[in-house]
Chains A and B, each alone.
Chain A
Amino acid sequence: MKPLSLAPLIRLVLPFAEAAVVTLLAALGGRVIADHFDVPNVSLVFLIPVLAAAVRHGFAASLCAATLSVLSFDYFFLPPLYRLTISDPADVTALFFLVIVALVTSALAARAHAEALAAARRARTLSTLHDLSNAIAGVLDLDALLDAAGRRMAQALNAEVVFLMPDNGALAARAAIPSGVRLEPADLAAAQRSWTYGGRAGGVNDPTTPSRRWFVPMHTGRSDVGVVGVLLTEAPDGLSAPDRDLFQAMASQVAVAIERVALATDIDKARLGAERERLRSAMLTSVSHDLRTPLASIVGVLSSLRSHRDRYDDAARQELLTTALGEAERLDRFVGNLLDMTRLDAGVIVPHRESVDVGDLVSTTLRRAAPLVRGRVVSSAVAPDLPMLHIDFVLAEQMLFNLLDNAVKYSPADGLIEVEARSVGDRIEIVVRDEGGGIAPAALERLFDKFYRADEGDRRRAGTGLGLAIAKGFVEVEGGSIMARNRTDRGGAEFIVSYRTAP
């Protein structure tokens, strides 16, 4: 510990010691020259220590050198030699001019020294600010931004850095370098004052809110974003004036960056909000239409039969009831779709995987879809001896059911619907083809979006807009993929589902 505590003292004394030594050497050198040569103005030799001290250590050291020079000149060169007295009054003049020259020289040299120092400091400040701005440019995450900025500030100021930002109205620590910095009540009071009045606060000598840390507000032209505090590791008393400026400049830069991040987040939120709004209104339209339409016919049938039962003959009654039943089943499918979609959105679907025989999957789905595809020709071609899939049978069946439902809706009644299963490399593909109008290029991208319905004009009632979104969700939850494209062999669409086979 001892050498450490001596270091500042040595640093303080060294310039003066150096000035003294150089002056002494100059005096001795001058003496030697005067002894051997006839030099009229040997006093000029003393400009060397004065200039050296001024350039190397500034005004105080050069003043010291000047004083010592005057004394040495008197001592070594003016008679009586080797005494600090003057016998010849003319020599007083010489001494006087030496004093003047020494003083002027030191003042000039010292100013040059100070300016060089200031220039170096400005360069350092600029480079620090430049580094900081490089480090935080393009960072769009607040935590990453504060971390990068905090590290740069801690390094530049040799300090602990803490950022405080308003959280629910109260100022709270948001990030710190090193992490885990604990703020004391005095720190918080100083930070709060800096935030409230918008200026620097803290430091041990702050009369209102003394604290070990210094705080400056971070504000931009548009808004106040928070407060940043530093605790100097080496000089707890305070920041030097240039460091104070650097600190303030860095705080302003960070403030601008924080504001940029906040704006970017706001824009994202707005975009997300708009998308959510679109979905909400699509969902409301869909729900009100798809729930009300079947309900309307069910209520209509039931109320007619209750009030006017005798007006209908058996055939008419049967037709009414068949209609109502069909609509009720449609309603059930729609509610099922809504539930599936909700489960997908909530991310609560955990596939109950089992070994699945693809032929079994296809035949079971076709069996359930029989009422749906009634009157349609459906062919299935499952390659023999396909390996087993390791998927959730129930999800896969619903997925395939929805693809069939889609094929039925978007192809003419006399069109063939094909289901094919085949092995492709280490995957099994299940393909559903129809002979409908195919998929418009604009629709290809949005086909699997929630509540998207291909525009079928008035030709037929479109579906719920959920079936394909659910099919995609159910395939992807198993790690499989689904794609849609137009057939190349004839008009129509084909949907290709691909699952990896069980290892």
Chain B
Amino acid sequence: MTGDAAIILIVEDEPPIRRLLRTTLGAHDYRVLEASTGAEALAALRHHRPDLVLLDLGLPDIDGLALIGQIRAVGPVPIVVLSSRGDETAKVTALDSGADDYVTKPFGADELLARLRVALRHRLQEQGAERLFTSDDLSVDLVRRLVRRGPEDVKLSPKEYDILEQLVIHAGKVLTHKHLLREVWRNETVDPQYLRVYVRQLRQKVEADPSAPRHVLTEPGIGYRLV
């Protein structure tokens, strides 16, 4: 399996964090490349074609957001951003300019690995996406447009279904408000209040306890995530 191991490019200027990431990812059978500057990152990207980029937003030589644009210009490699707490605006901007997900420092290994798995899975999905989502009591079949909670079919309004469809396509990944408005309403300038109203209705139908959702999760200040 080592030949098939995913290659992850770590772009991080702090040596202790780099060492931690190298050790953690190595122990989970990823192959690891390291870069401490934006320039090194772009060079590694061109030469080694990594499967995923783990990018710290606070690099010394280049603005992390600008680097996302440059990485996107090279290819569609998934990008997971490392950022600090209280920096929601930067996270949203990173996500809206092409990053796939984010992990907030300090992060636990489980959370980091979960994000990486999801981002790598979506890389595979784009080459022949699965249209099924199952998690605990919730299952969604996008091909047959079927939503079930436990044994029962759930009837959704078109907008509710469209939102759920987006969440399923990007299951496990955070979706920004802007992304959902663009894909569901085809208009980013729609009042996000409608989005909250529909998400509230969606939760009433797909969550066993809508007051403690377990599938459609809110990422404060950023968007939603389906798990």
A residues adjacent to B (C-beta < 8 A): 328, 332, 336, 339-340, 343, 352, 354-357, 359-360, 362-364, 366-367, 380, 382, 388, 392-394, 397
Q: Using known A-B contacts A332-B106, A336-B85, determine if residue A360 contacts B221 with beta carbons closer than 8 Å.
A: no
Q: Using known A-B contacts A328-B106, A357-B200, A394-B221, determine if residue A363 contacts B193 with beta carbons closer than 8 Å.
A: no
List which B119-145 residues lie within 8 A (CB) of chain A.
Answer: none
Contact B88 A394 (CB under 8 A): yes
User: Can you report 8 A-B residue pairs in the complex whose CB atoms are below 8 A from each other?
Assistant: A339-B86, A355-B191, A355-B196, A359-B210, A363-B211, A363-B212, A388-B196, A393-B218
A37-B178 Cα distance, complex, nearest whole Å: 121
Q: Is B192 an interface residue, CB under 8 A from the partner? A: yes
Q: Pick the contact of B193 from A336, A355, A366, A380 — CB < 8 Å?
A: A355
Give the distance to chain B from A235, nearest Cβ to Cβ, in Å.
68
List which B87-122 residues lie within 8 A (CB) of chain A.
Answer: 88-89, 106
Interface of A is mostly: helix
Contact B220 A393 (CB under 8 A): yes
Q: Which residues on the A side are within 8 Å of B85 (C-beta)?
A: 336
Q: Is B35 an interface residue, CB under 8 A from the partner? A: no
Give the distance to chain B from A337, nearest Cβ to Cβ, in Å.
11
Q: Pick the contact of B218 from A328, A360, A380 — CB < 8 Å?
A: A360
Give the distance to chain A from B227, nearest Cβ to Cβ, in Å.
11
Q: Pick the contact of B200 from A359, A364, A380, A393 — CB < 8 Å?
A: A359
Q: Using known A-B contacts A336-B85, A359-B211, determine if residue A364 contacts B192 with beta carbons closer than 8 Å.
A: no
Q: Which residues on the A side are within 8 Å of B218 (C-beta)?
A: 360, 363-364, 393
- 0/1 interface trace, chain B 194-227, chain A, CB 8 Å (1 if under): 0011011000000000111100011011000000
Q: Pick the contact of A388 from B106, B193, B213, B220 — CB < 8 Å?
A: B193
Q: Using known A-B contacts A339-B86, A382-B211, determine if residue A397 contacts B220 with beta carbons closer than 8 Å.
A: yes
Chain A CB count within 10 A is highest, among B89, B193, B211, for B211
Q: Which residues on the B side are within 8 Å of A357 (C-beta)?
A: 196-197, 199-200
Known: A354-B221, A355-B191; 18 extra A-B contacts, CB below 8 A, are A332-B106, A336-B85, A339-B86, A340-B86, A352-B88, A354-B192, A355-B193, A356-B196, A357-B196, A357-B200, A359-B200, A360-B199, A362-B211, A382-B211, A393-B218, A393-B220, A393-B221, A394-B220
Chain B CB count within 10 A is highest, among A380, A394, A397, for A394
Contact B211 A380 (CB under 8 A): yes
In the complex formed, the residue of B with least CB distance to A396 is B220
List 9 tightest A-B contacts by C-beta distance, closest first.
Answer: A355-B193, A394-B221, A364-B218, A357-B196, A394-B220, A397-B220, A393-B220, A393-B221, A360-B218
Interface residues of B, CB < 8 Å — how many?
21
Q: Which residues on the A side are within 8 Å of B217 (C-beta)?
A: 364, 367
Give the distance to chain B from A404, nearest Cβ to Cβ, in Å.
14
Q: Which residues on the A side are within 8 Å of B221 (C-beta)?
A: 352, 354, 392-394
Q: Which residues on the B side are within 8 Å of A340 (C-beta)?
A: 86
Q: Which residues on the B side are within 8 Å of A356 (C-beta)?
A: 196
Q: Which residues on the A side are within 8 Å of B177 (C-beta)?
A: 354
List which B147-201 residues lie within 8 A (CB) of chain A.
Answer: 177, 191-193, 196-197, 199-200
A397-B193 Cα distance, complex, nearest whole Å: 18
B residues adjacent to A (C-beta < 8 A): 85-86, 88-89, 106, 177, 191-193, 196-197, 199-200, 210-213, 217-218, 220-221
In the complex formed, the residue of B with least CB distance to A380 is B211
Q: Which residues on the A side are within 8 Å of B86 (C-beta)?
A: 336, 339-340, 343, 394
Contact B89 A352 (CB under 8 A): yes
In the complex formed, the residue of B with least CB distance to A360 is B218
Q: Which residues on the A side are within 8 Å of B89 (C-beta)?
A: 352
Q: Pick the contact of B192 from A328, A336, A355 — CB < 8 Å?
A: A355
Q: Which residues on the A side are within 8 Å of B197 (C-beta)?
A: 357
Q: Which residues on the A side are within 8 Å of B200 (C-beta)?
A: 357, 359-360
A336-B210 Cα distance, complex, nearest whole Å: 30
A309-B199 Cα distance, complex, nearest whole Å: 50
Q: Which residues on the B side are within 8 Å of A352 (C-beta)?
A: 88-89, 221
Q: Which residues on the B side are within 8 Å of A339 (C-beta)?
A: 86
Q: Which residues on the B side are within 8 Å of A343 (C-beta)?
A: 86
Contact B213 A363 (CB under 8 A): yes
Q: Which residues on the A side are within 8 Å of B220 (C-beta)?
A: 364, 393-394, 397
In the complex formed, the residue of B with least CB distance to A362 is B211
Q: Which residues on the A side are within 8 Å of B196 (C-beta)?
A: 355-357, 360, 388
Give the distance to chain B from A363, nearest Cβ to Cβ, in Å.
5
Give the distance to chain B from A386, nearest Cβ to Cβ, in Å.
10
Give the distance to chain B from A394, nearest Cβ to Cβ, in Å.
4
Q: Pick the contact of A367 from B192, B199, B212 — CB < 8 Å?
A: B212
Q: Which residues on the A side are within 8 Å of B193 (C-beta)?
A: 355, 388
A62-B106 Cα distance, complex, nearest whole Å: 102
In the complex formed, the residue of A with least CB distance to B210 is A359
A393-B218 Cα distance, complex, nearest whole Å: 10
A392-B199 Cα distance, complex, nearest whole Å: 18
A328-B218 Cα distance, complex, nearest whole Å: 25
In the complex formed, the residue of A with least CB distance to B216 is A360
Q: Pick the contact of A366 from B88, B192, B199, B212 — CB < 8 Å?
A: B212
A378-B193 Cα distance, complex, nearest whole Å: 28
Q: Which residues on the B side are within 8 Å of A367 (C-beta)?
A: 212, 217
In the complex formed, the residue of A with least CB distance to B106 is A332
A359-B211 Cα distance, complex, nearest whole Å: 7
Give the distance to chain B from A294, nearest Cβ to Cβ, in Å.
13
Give the distance to chain A from B138, nearest Cβ to Cβ, in Å.
16
Give the distance to chain A from B53, nearest Cβ to Cβ, in Å.
25
Give the distance to chain B from A499, nearest Cβ to Cβ, in Å.
16
Give the distance to chain A from B56, nearest Cβ to Cβ, in Å.
18
In the complex formed, the residue of A with least CB distance to B191 is A355
Give the distance to chain B from A376, nearest Cβ to Cβ, in Å.
15
A382-B204 Cα distance, complex, nearest whole Å: 14
Give the distance to chain B from A419, nearest Cβ to Cβ, in Å.
10
Q: Which residues on the B side are within 8 Å of A360 (C-beta)?
A: 196, 199-200, 218
Chain B CB count within 10 A is highest, among A340, A354, A362, for A354
In the complex formed, the residue of B with least CB distance to A379 is B211
Give the distance to chain A from B110, nearest Cβ to Cβ, in Å.
11
